[in-house]
Amino acid sequence: MAAAEMQGIFYANSVICHCFDSPYSIKLMSDNRLWAGRFNEPTDAFVEAFTASVEFDQRLAPQDIAGSIAHATMLAAQGIISGEEKRSIIDGLNVIKGKIEAGSFPWSVALEDVHMNIEAALTDAIGIAGKKLHTGRSRNDQVATDIRLWLRDEIDHLSSEIARLQQALLKIAAPEADTIMPGFTHLQTAQPITFGHHMMAWFEMLSRDASRLADCRKRMNIMPLGAAALAGTTYPIDRDLTAELLGFDAPAENSLDAVSDRDFAIEFTSAASIVMMHLSRFSEELIIWSSAQFAFIELSDSFCTGSSIMPQKKNPDVPELIRGKSGRIFGHLMALLTLMKSQPLAYNKDNQEDKEPLFDTVDNLKGCLKIFADMIPAISCRHDNMRAAAMRGFATATDLADYLVVKGIPFRDAHEVVGKAVALCVGKGCDLSELELPELQQFSEVIDEDVFDVLTLEGSVAARNHIGGTAPQQVRAAIQRAQEKLDSA
Ligand code: ARG
């Protein structure tokens, strides 16, 4: 198979490999490999394509350039390169940045990755000074720095999307703080709750998600640069300065750890997996609630699709797809754990495989959060159906038991009394609140007219009046606290 054909296997639809018409007149094969000094033979064409990462890591170009500018600034401050060389490097990098942004940068597979593509273009553009940029660093500390810079920004974006979704939840919880619906355990009607309370449960899950991401961001904001290949460098570098220029909290303590650590990627995909697990649970509820059997909510048409064969269908495709996408994110977490599990210190080429799972996790999570935050405010509640469902499942049975306990009956006995009353209702096809007083009294003489206060759905929810309870008053207070939390974040 010809080399070009083999490369085509890898990059059939890609816009890279334009090295022949490069404005930087980049040369091909061995001449062009920045590490090829000791090599006598050209790289096998298939190996070249197989080992290259530029197709996907070119995405790190803005971070790579920012890292290089900080590195060059530090080299000049330390007298390792001259002020003039520094300026020439920074100007050259900014021109390259402009070309990349304009889509006119000639990415080359022969130059393997984003780092060597940019460095080669810089040298082509500015000459000797470009060759000095790599002094005191290695691609090993360079790539570890780039990914952290990139992920840091992405976490910031994801956190703001989570806050937007939380805001949407508050917006729909507030007007539904009194809306009665059945609460479920085992997907069987358990006790009445309010729709607002249910929305606020989702809010809490997302608060934990946001704090997990913030925690991950804090731990990853440590700078690998200066670790060089693995052991540090012989030049008198100032790592504190580079860290400060790049907004890192500190330089990494240990050079071996700095180049090989990918814990932050695993932590991130783990936090992302938990967000996706939550979104998948929300999705599942939206799917169930919008079915004809439940009919608790109506999803806006703009988040559903129809069926090509069944004209009556309105399918909840968006929540279904989000539920489905959780699988690929969990997969990425497993891929990264497995990628790292047997690697000896320090850097190994295995690590190049960290990027695609990470990129795909971020892209999909971003999309899911965005669409969720847009979809939630467009939900409408079908109050009558929720109420009717709460009526149907003996949702106030626990309230009757609690009533008996207050009147001096031990809980276990009360449980049995209520069980008998429920059996009577099942036979008659009615709700507990629809039994006559004498019918109830045959099970316990302590039952009085006031029992009907607790058997109503409103009485039941209002009675759970403590922090974290479903009483409308508590739900309103929880919404207010949540709003304050969001506003102060
Ligand atoms: N493309 C490489 C990666 O993503 C950059 C580091 C390569 N280092 C090396 N020693 N081969 O990990």
Question: Which member of 25, 186, 302, 488 is catalytic?
Answer: 186
For a pocket test of ligand 1, which of 48, 139, 343 has the largest count of ligand atoms closer than 8 A to its C-beta?
Answer: 139
Query: Which amino acid makes up residue 239?
Result: R
Candidates 35, 58, 143, 336: which one to mutate for ligand 1, based on the most atoms within 8 Å of Cβ? 143
Q: What is the DSSP letter of 197?
A: H
Residues 22 and 159 in one domain: no
d(CA 249, CA 256) in angstroms, rounded, equals 19
Q: Per the structure, how many domains does the chain have?
A: 3
Which of 313, 346, 379 is the endpoint of a domain? 379
Is residue 241 one of the residues assigned to a domain?
no
Residue 113 in contact with ligand 1 by CB distance below 6 A: yes
In a domain, 371, yes or no: yes
How many angstroms is it from 143 CA to the middle of ligand 1? Answer: 7
- Respond yes or no: is residue 307 known to be catalytic: yes
In a domain, 308, yes or no: yes
Specify the 3-state DSSP secondary structure of 130.
Answer: helix
Do 356 and 396 belong together in one domain?
no
Looking up tokens 């009615």 gives: 430
- Entry field: residues in the chain: 489
The Cα–Cα gap between 483 and 489 comes to 10
CA–CA–CA angle 224, 153, 481 (5° rounding): 120
Q: Is the pLDDT of residue 36 over 90?
A: no
Does the C-beta of 53 come closer than 6 Å to ligand 1?
yes
Q: What is the pLDDT of residue 18?
A: 37
139 CB within 6 A, ligand 1: yes
> Rounded to whole angstroms, how far apart are CA atoms 401 and 447?
11
**Ligand 1 proximity of 351 Cβ (cutoff 6 Å):** yes
Q: Say if 233 falls within a structural domain.
A: no
pLDDT score for 2: 43
Same domain, yes or no, for 111 and 180? no
**Mean per-residue pLDDT of the chain:** 92
Contact 347, 230 (CB under 8 A): yes
Structure token pair of residue 453: 């206060």
In degrees, rounded to 5, the angle at the alpha carbon of residue 276 between the alpha carbons of residues 275 and 281 is 100
Rounded distance from Cα 141 to ligand 1 centre (Å): 9
Kindly tell me if the per-residue pLDDT of 22 is higher than 90. no
Residue 423 has pLDDT above 60, yes or no: yes
pLDDT for 378-411, tens place per residue?
999 999 999 999 988 888 999 999 999 999 999 9
Specify whether 356 is located in the same domain as 429.
Answer: no
Q: For a pLDDT cut of 90, what percent of the chain falls above it?
A: 84
What secondary structure does DSSP assign to 408-450, as a single string? T--HHHHHHHHHHHHHHHHHHT--GGGS-HHHHHTT-TT--TT
Lowest mean pLDDT among 6-10, 29-33, 340-344: 6-10
Residue 248 lies in a domain: no
Distance 140 CA to ligand 1 centre (A): 6
A 10 A CB-CB count for 376 gives 22
Band (pLDDT 50/70/90 cuts) for residue 31 is low
Going by alpha carbons, the residue nearest to atom 10 of ligand 1 is 140
Task: Note whether residue 246 is domain-resident.
Answer: no
Whether residue 432 is found in the same domain as residue 471: yes
The answer to whether the CB of 466 is under 6 A from ligand 1 is no
CA of 274 to the centre of ligand 1 (A): 30
Residues 131 and 152 in one domain: no
> Rounded to an integer, what distance in angstroms lies between the CA atom of residue 106 and that of residue 27?
12
368 and 452 together in one domain? no
Expressed in angstroms and rounded, the spacing between residue 114 Cα and the centre of ligand 1 is 10
Which residues, in sequence order, are bridge partners of residue 473?
none
3-class DSSP state of 251: strand
For the stretch 147-195, pLDDT in tens is: 999 999 999 999 999 999 999 999 999 999 999 999 999 999 999 999 9
Average pLDDT of 249-270? 98
Rounded to a whole number of angstroms, the CA Rg of the chain reads 31
Q: Residues 55, 160: one domain?
A: no
Query: Are residues 177 and 479 in contact, defined by beta-carbon separation less than 8 angstroms?
Result: yes
Q: Is the CB of residue 26 less than 8 Å from the CB of residue 32?
A: yes
Q: For residue 243, tell me if it sits in a domain.
A: no
191-217 pLDDT per residue, tens = 999 999 999 999 999 999 999 999 999
Whether ligand 1 lies within 6 angstroms of the CB of 140 is answered as yes
- 349 CA distance to ligand 1 middle (Å): 6
Same domain for 286 and 320: yes
Q: Are 118 and 57 contained in the same domain?
A: yes
Quick: pLDDT tens for 90-106: 999 999 999 999 999 99
Residue (of 97, 95, 91, 136) closest to 114 by Cα position:
97
First to last CA, the chain: 58
Q: What is the mean pLDDT of residues 282-311?
A: 89
More confident residue, 8 or 460: 460
The catalytic residue among 104, 291, 307, 380 is 307
Domain range for 338: 140-187+194-226+253-379
Q: Which ligand 1 atom minimizes the distance to the CA of 113? A: 1
Of the three residues 349, 379, 409, the one that is the final residue of a domain is 379
| Ligand 1: nearest atom to the Cα of 139 | 6
**Domain annotation covers residue 32:** yes
CATH of the domain at 216: 1.20.200.10
Domain CATH number, residue 38? 1.10.275.10
In a shared domain, residues 131 and 145 = no
* Residue nearest atom 2 in ligand 1 by C-alpha distance: 352
The CATH number of whichever domain residue 481 belongs to comes to 1.10.40.30
Out of 119, 135, 151, a domain closes at 135
Assess whether pLDDT exceeds 60 at residue 328: yes
Could you give the residue ranges of the DSSP H alpha helices within 103-233? 114-126, 128-132, 139-173, 195-220
Nearest CA to ligand 1 atom 4: 352
Residues 330 and 304 occupy one common structural domain: yes
pLDDT of 13 > 50? The answer is no
Expressed in angstroms and rounded, the spacing between residue 426 Cα and the centre of ligand 1 is 69
